Each structure stands twice: as structure tokens, then as C-alpha cells.
Structure 1
Amino acid sequence: MQRPALLVLVRHAESARNQVKKDAVYFADDAARRVLRGQPDHDIPLTDDGHLQAEQTGHVIRERFGVFDHVYTSGYTRTIQTTDGILAAYPPDERKRMPVDMNIFIRERDSGYAYDMTEAEATSAFPWLHEYWQTFGGFMARPPGGESLADVVGRIHQFLDLLDRDRAGKRILVVTHGQALRCFRFVLEQWDYDRAERWPPGQAPANCGVTVYEEADDRLELIEYNTVHWTVGSPEDGS
């Protein structure tokens, strides 16, 4: 076997930035931004609801999948806290059998200089950006100072190569980010560029959405996508 036997991908639970921005590209206004201004992406924590989402998801993950051979996070605060919430469902003896590692390859896409901007500020600072985005599309275009999704695919490839080399036949849990999940799907499901341009309607990854791949014929086959197991608020709140 040249692949993990099981790969479970989980988007982090609701973060403070999700709550304020509702997953919009920019802050709506300065009042919304003021809550989090100056806080780097890797330090954004979960909300109270996010902690509950992770804990509720953890009970279902343990019931369905049992003990994993290895767990990975991106090292961002919100993925670490989500992982802690999920693993809290496991008794101490099982928890000790699941090493947790940080891997920088599965971090969120770098959004660049407009990270803390409102839409009006971004339009003023980068008046050419809309036309550039329309020309190159959302998969190839790079936000100023940031990464394209195609760039992220490169490091997701590296992470999956690591799993193939070091975790063949193992059961793996990965807690990662929404845009990284899109890139996992590009690689694992062999999307073409047209398919990668946008999520199909209703398929944006939810907070703590669970996506499952199983090894079949020396490849990882999608078994389920973006299943939500928590009941705090509504699944659409963090998608």
C-alpha cells in the first residue's frame, strides 16, 4: 500500500475572524475590523461556539473512526484548539496513542496585504485588482503579497507526498483550513483548472465539516464531504 488507509480532513471550528467577517474577503467596515485589527492569522482563536463545535464533532469522530495513528494541525491557534476539542472526546489511554504534529504545508492561504483591509480600502489601494482577478480567475490569481490557490496546491502536494512516504497504511486525521481543503480536493480528486475555479453551490467547507478519503486501488477515494456533526447555531454560520 502506497497511501494512508484513511484520511479524515476537518476544517477548524468557528474562529473569531469567521464570526466578524462571515467569511467575506474583506471587513465590512472599520467597526468590524476594530475587533481583530493587528492580530495575525496564525493567532486567531476560536469563539466559544467554536470550542463547542469541536467538542461535539470529536464525539462523533471517535465513535465513527476510533483511534488515529497520527494527527496533524497547521499550527495555527484555531486548528490547535479545534484538535484539542476533538481529542477531548478520547479517554487518556487512547489520546496517548495519537501523536499530534504541526505541519506548515497545511496552513491557510496567505491573503497578503489586504488581510486587515475593508473593501473600500482594498479598492483604493489596488484599483487594478478586480480586472486582474477576472482575467486570471480565482485559482491562479494571487492577492497582492499573498498566495494563489495554485501556490497552496504545491505545498499540499508536498504534505501528501510526506503521508505516502511515512504514513502508508495508517489512519490519519488532519485539522486544516477552508482554502487548504479546496486544494486537497484539487490534488486528491484530480480536478482540472475549470473545476478548481469555484466551489459548486452549497459546497463551501463548513466549520468542523468532516471530509473522508479511504484508500482504494492505490489512491485515496472521496467517501464523504463536509459533513457537519455539531448543533451550535447553524452549519451555515461558518461556511
Structure 2
Amino acid sequence: MLIIHFINFCIFRQQLHGISALEAVNQIRSEGMLSLYRGILPPLLQKSLSYSIMFGCYDQYRRTLEGGMGFNVAPAKVLAAMLAGCTEALLTPFERVQTLMLDDKYRKQFKNTPHAFNSLRVFGIKEYYRGLSAILMRNGPSNVIFFSCRDKLRTFVPEHPNLGLLADFISGACLGALISTISFPINTTKTHMQKTLGGEFQSFSKVFLALYRERGLWGMFRGVHVNYTRSFISWGITNVSYEYLRNHLNARGS
């Protein structure tokens, strides 16, 4: 997890400052090794909950839409994926606090993650959900692409008893890398929406256009190479784990 957190740290600094990966590494290294642990708690909590909500709610929504409301399979999958993505957005405070913890500007202001969470209380509950619009724009469409395409993509791997896990890994990894690349400018915009503490809430479009004018199209993708490499590995493992557990539970229930 520490390795993944360091990669996330580098990507965050690239998104925030529009710098190269090497510059991000040097910047983090100059702050000391202890800085690597800053902001590690929110992603630890968020990821475990996020995956549970994403897969669990998707299956539950899909069954309800197909069985209880009479939706056809394809529309049910799309709507269930969108709803699961919106449900995941309840975890926005974790991403919000992680952004503050990873920003060097707040290094002396927040002692640790609980302190950062508590400090936001003075601004009201709305402050915890700064950047919510960007997260909704990312989660819904990303889930639709993932759940609509992963089974189709899996069929491209030749059927073989020993290739089941490989097929699950490849389908999850390729989709994860693709989705993370497509949504990268949204994540960059989210980072800049959430880096502000207090004050005016700026709309997604306003922040996006300001970044685009300042950096250009390529600047909006600073850090994408590291990001899709990380996503390729992590989503491949995630998809394998999900399929294995689902098949195991289905086999026990039958």
C-alpha cells in the first residue's frame, strides 16, 4: 500500500503543479521520508469501502431493476452502474481530506488525518463535499464503461481452464487503464477544486477552463503515464478478486 500511496502522491503533485514525474519525486523527497505517510489513511479507508459499494451496489441495483422493475438487461446494467457510481460519491470526504493532506501548502496546518477531518467542521458539512460534481462526473460514466465492457472484453481471451484468472485480469486491467486515462482531466480538475480550504465554491466548468487555458491539453494529462500503469495493475487485481469471490460464493450457495 505504501508503494501505491507513493505513486498516488506523485500523480497528485503532477496534477497540482503541472510538473514532470521526476520533479514530483524530487519535491516529495525534499520534504522527508515521513511525508510519504501523510494522507495514507483516507485512501486505505476509501478504497476498501469504495470497491464494496461499487460492486455490491451494482449487483443489488441490477437485480432490483431487472427483477423488481422489469428493465431489460442492457438498460438495467447502465442504470445500475450509474447509481452505484453516485452511491460511491458518498465517500467524497475521504478524497477531500486526502487532497489537503498531500498538498505541501497544508503540511504544517494539519497534524494528521483525524485533525484534518476535524478542522473542516468549522466550514460546515458542505466543505467535506467540495469537488462532488467532478466525482459524480467521473464515477457514473466510469462504472458504465467498466460493467458494460468487461464481460465482452473477457471473451477475447481464449477459453481454457487455466486461463480464467488471466482473462479476468486482462479485462479488468485494460478497462482500468482506459477509464483512468479518459477521466484523468476530470481528476486533475477535482484536485484543483479540492485544494481550496474555505471560501468560494467554484464550478467544475470554471476550474476546468481555467486549467485548460493555463496548461493546454497536454498539461491536463500531466501524470497520466504513471496513472494508467498503476490502474492497469490495480484494476486487474481488483477484477480477479471480485470474480473469484463471486464464483466462490455462488458455488457455496448452489
TM over 0.5: no
Q: Of the two, which has the highest radius of gyration?
A: 2
Larger relative contact order (Cα-Cα within 8 Å, sequence gap ≥ 6) = 1
Normalised by the length of structure 1, the TM-score is 0.32
More helix by share: 2
Normalised by the length of structure 2, the TM-score is 0.31
More strand by share: 1
